[in-house]
Structure 1
Amino acid sequence: MQPDKKLFTFEETKQKLVNYCVYQDRCHAEVEQKMREFVLIPEAKDEIILYLLKENYLNEERFTRSYIRGKFYIKSWGRTKIKMHLKQKGITEKLISSCFDEIDEDDYLKTINKIYENYESKLKGLKDYQKKGKTIKYLLSRGFEYEFILQVIEN
């Protein structure tokens, strides 16, 4: 047995995972990762997951929606970057697409515009086309789609 694994009763482990889910919305992958810290037989893991789902502590759609809101409105990430990170967490393409209505289209364009103006104003000593190129590259790295970036630049 590895020394880094914690020994708790089934009920203690279940309560710790409930607290883990209550603190912040989690996806299945995060909960399963957390479970690896505990010594559990597969049946116990399954039972805990079922309990968390049944009691609505673990809800993939709620997690996806709050993740999208947080990453867009707080970190100003674009849809592409958000989608990529959600896929890494094992969220299905269908669920991701259905939850993108959390981002208001006007807010999306305003955010691109704000980041564009902010970043471009920091670039000094470059020709206009160089500024434009660097800014587009930066916005793409933030996860915004090329069509939207062009739409903002042309306005």
Structure 2
Amino acid sequence: MVHITTSWRGVAVLVAAALAILGVIAWSLSRPDENTPDLGTRTVQAGDVEVTMTALALNGSGAVFKIVLDTHTVELDLDLAASAQLTVNGAVADGAVWEGQGPGGHHREGTLRFATPVPAGATADLRVIGLPQDVTGTWSAP
């Protein structure tokens, strides 16, 4: 007859191993999908302001862009959510949300989000007004 004894040390080792495995799984799920296409970055000069727009997501959940504004001469005091307009296949999307640095200074960086779905294959135009010149970037949704 085989007698199996369970010690607290053995249980603790099993729990620690299970937590480690769950941690690895959670980490791998939180990483960007390596099969996601590179949507691209558009850099546009608006007078003395360099505007860099990177599409992070264009899908059924909406559109997300990383925005970077750089200058040495102009005060960057515009309201980016109010100054941004997204057009998807010719239809204007409402409700931009800015998550980033507030107005002022010579460098601003943050994320601009639109909840309007972007269908696969759609053309998405992001326009920012209120700078020395208006800027537009264009992407095709994967």
Q: TM-score range by the shorter chain?
A: under 0.3
- State the TM-score, normalizing by the size of structure 1: 0.23
More strand by share: 2
More helix by share: 1
Larger radius of gyration: 2
